[in-house]
């Protein structure tokens, strides 16, 4: 019997659901996007898989934001996507499609995707940060995905800092994520800081996105620039700790916020260079993701191929 | 030819040099201690090895504080033991004794020791913290030592905190180590805080040791108690981050400071329980080292056996 040609990979992250039909070379044949902030993530996922379904599928891989119980196939905890907590993804999807199903943390899946077909192919070890609404992490070591939680966004970088929905205080995510940036802008504008962003989104500051902040920064807005730099500096604190812990060959940065590379990420790299052990920092390349928003789905598909021996 | 029966393991840590002749079962046959704060660490090491030398030695393993270049056999950086930086340990010891020599970070060696013969034998994955003058880390994953820097003491837990000799700010080590404790006591007494410790060490507060602090805490001294609890709380911040990153089966705590378990470590465990993802904390056992001060030497000997195929 010939090997199955395809796997379906799903990335169920903070705000978007991305499902892709992936071939054995890691190429996306077809993809579906939907929102994952609705309460019916499971239904959206089923619809997406149905629309991609065809003969020759080896299995389905799911990358889901949160702490995963791989054996039970459930999400034990997901501070940014509480609607998936306790959902029996593996059993539900397996029953529906009669295919092998596996589950992994979304950032771990993205790291595997980058290792397979992205910015990580040439590295034996790297740390991936997903920089979006929240901050996730994944670690490749010895050429393989490290089967650990890798919740790098929930390292405390300010021991007595702001309370995080995860229960910790001072999480990296609370200082360097998209949510941290937009929160800081709202707070500053509400407390009277002058900014061109007051005129953004028809005056509704609650609708300002990280992209808006970046565009205003390019236009010379001081608050926008400072917001990106402050978040970038904190990201650098987290990158330095990751380098001191994992001494990786590379740090790969993924997620929407990398669009603000020349302000946010450059600040982070500069900060990390001042903080990490110099010998380790000097041996670490810091690179953008190559697969961008597809990394999670491609990595999840790879998991499905691996688990089914295809 | 029969297998070699022994290996020599050396632990060249922050304050002490411990060298041991270890048999194939991980038992210490004979040990030598010396100070490693002298400038002649290499000479002390040679003398210690000479005194243990006999027939049937497979090789020599060295666990040294700092960031190690395993291939070149040198210590690239050692904030707490600068005298070992750049010392060509491997070449020097190999020439002197005509035996295979390998080198590893001291806390990594201790983790391997605990895995082989100590508190880690039953765990497939654990994180070890060495709690002494500084704070080191080692990680076992998939039953094997993770070949990473694991400098857990140099995670930043206070982004804008005190400057560490390593170059970073707010390192865990600067808040939770023995040096942090004694520094806090000196500062408090010098700024007029009342404490029984004023009478310690013939009035020389600079000589107060963590053991003194612990003993005064047991006698009810408030400053001593608060010092241990504050350091313990920060240690808990670091343990929580380690749990969120590595989701280990266990956290093993080693080093002299574990002698203050019922104040310092208990406070740390309580703090970590409030901070780490509850599902991960609940799945992590927190245990003391079994090998105590011998863990590094035993682990280094194990490395020597492994590298020589004995």
Cα B133 to chain centroid, rounded: 9
B194 pLDDT band (50/70/90 cuts)?
very high
Given this model, what pLDDT does residue A79 score? 82
Rounded to an integer, what distance in angstroms lies between the CA atom of residue B99 and that of residue B97? 5
User: In three state form, how does the secondary structure of chain A look?
Assistant: CCCCCEEEEEEECCCEEEEEEEECCCCEEEEEEEECCCCCHHHHHHHHHHHHCCCCEEEEEEEECCEEECCCCEEEECCCCHHHECCEHHHHHHHHHCCCEEEEEHHHHHHHHHHHHCCCCCCCCEEEEEECCCEEEEEEECCEECCCCCCHHHCECECCCCECCCCCECECHHHHCHHHHHHHHHHHHHCCCCCHHHHHHHHCHHHCCHHHHHHHHHCCCHHHHHHHHHHHHHHHHHHHHHHHHHCCCEEEEECHHHHHHHHHHHHHHHHHHHHCCHHHHHCCEEEECCCHHHHHHHHHHHHHHHHCCC
CB contact under 8 A, B245 and A278: no
Which residues of chain B are within 8 Å of residue A151 when distances are taken between CB atoms?
A: 244-245, 277
Of B148, B149, B237, the CB nearest to A159: B237
B1 pLDDT band (50/70/90 cuts)?
very low
Q: What is the mean pLDDT of each run of 10 residues along chain A (310 residues)?
A: 82 87 97 78 92 96 92 85 85 94 96 98 98 96 96 98 96 97 97 96 94 97 98 98 98 95 97 97 98 95 90
Of A67, A157, A279, the CB nearest to B156: A157
pLDDT of B147 over the 60 cut: yes
pLDDT of B97 over the 70 cut: yes
Range in A272-286, B68-82, B199-213, B283-297 with the lowest mean pLDDT: B68-82
Choose from A82, A139, A156, A158 for mutation: most chain B CBs within 10 A.
Answer: A156
Query: Which pTM does this prediction carry?
Result: 0.95
Sequence-distant (≥ 6) Cβ neighbours of residue B2 within 8 angstroms:
none
| A232: closest CA of chain B, how far (Å) | 12
Given this model, what pLDDT does residue B36 score? 66
Give the chain B residue whose CA is nearest to the CA of A169.
B275
Give the chain B residue whose CA is nearest to the CA of A155.
B241
Choose from A241, A251, A280 for mutation: most chain B CBs within 10 A.
Answer: A241
Which residues of chain B are within 8 Å of residue A176 when distances are taken between CB atoms?
A: none
Given this model, what pLDDT does residue A14 score? 67
Which residues of chain A are within 8 Å of residue B247 when distances are taken between CB atoms?
A: 67, 148-149
Which residues of chain B are within 8 Å of residue A154 when distances are taken between CB atoms?
A: 241, 244, 277
Given this model, what pLDDT does residue A1 score? 45
| B161: closest CA of chain A, how far (Å) | 9
Given this model, what pLDDT does residue B3 score? 67
Given this model, what pLDDT does residue B80 score? 80
B132 pLDDT band (50/70/90 cuts)?
very high
CB contact under 8 A, B245 and A158: no
CB contact under 8 A, B169 and A275: yes
Given this model, what pLDDT does residue A38 score? 60
Domains of chain B (ranges plus CATH)? 6-113+293-308 (3.30.420.40), 122-289 (3.30.420.40)
Of B151, B237, B275, the CB nearest to A245: B151
CB contact under 8 A, A245 and B240: no
- Average pLDDT over chain B reads 94
- Residues in chain B whose Cβ is within 8 Å of chain A: 67, 69, 76-77, 125, 137, 141-142, 146-152, 154-159, 166-170, 175, 233-234, 237, 240-241, 244-248, 274-280
Which residues of chain B are within 8 Å of residue A155 when distances are taken between CB atoms?
A: 155, 241, 244-245
Q: What is the ipTM of this complex?
A: 0.95
| B289: closest CA of chain A, how far (Å) | 21
Average pLDDT over residues B241-266: 96
Are the CB atoms for A194 and A224 separated by under 8 Å? no
């Amino acid at each position: 019997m010939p090997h199955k040609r395809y796997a379906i990979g799903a990335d169920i992250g903070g705000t978007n659901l991305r499902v892709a039909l992936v071939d054995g070379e890691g190429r996306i044949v077809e993809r579906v996007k939907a929102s994952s902030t609705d309460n019916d993530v499971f239904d959206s996922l089923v619809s997406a898989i149905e629309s991609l379904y065809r003969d020759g599928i080896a299995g389905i891989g799911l990358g889901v934001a949160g702490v995963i119980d791989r054996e039970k196939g459930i999400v034990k905890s997901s501070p940014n996507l509480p609607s998936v907590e306790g959902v029996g993804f593996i059993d539900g999807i397996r029953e529906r499609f009669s295919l092998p199903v596996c589950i992994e943390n979304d950032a771990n899946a993205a790291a595997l995707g980058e290792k397979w077909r992205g910015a990580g192919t040439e590295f034996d070890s790297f740390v991936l940060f997903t920089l979006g609404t929240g901050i996730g992490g994944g670690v490749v070591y010895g050429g393989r995905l490290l089967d650990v939680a890798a919740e790098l966004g929930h390292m405390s970088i300010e021991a007595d800092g702001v309370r995080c929905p995860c229960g910790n205080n001072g999480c990296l995510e609370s200082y360097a994520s998209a949510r941290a940036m937009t929160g800081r802008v709202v707070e500053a504008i509400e407390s009277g800081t002058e900014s061109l962003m007051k005129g953004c989104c028809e005056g509704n500051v609650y609708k300002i996105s990280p992209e808006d902040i970046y565009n205003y920064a390019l236009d010379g807005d001081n608050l926008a620039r400072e917001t990106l730099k402050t978040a970038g500096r904190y990201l650098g604190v987290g990158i330095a700790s990751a380098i001191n812990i994992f001494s990786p060959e590379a740090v790969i940065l993924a997620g929407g916020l990398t669009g603000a590379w020349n302000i946010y990420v450059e600040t982070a790299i500069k900060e990390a260079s001042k903080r990490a052990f110099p010998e380790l920092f000097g041996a670490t390349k810091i690179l953008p993701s190559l697969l961008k928003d597809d990394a999670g789905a491609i990595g999840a598909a790879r998991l499905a191929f691996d688990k089914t021996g295809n």
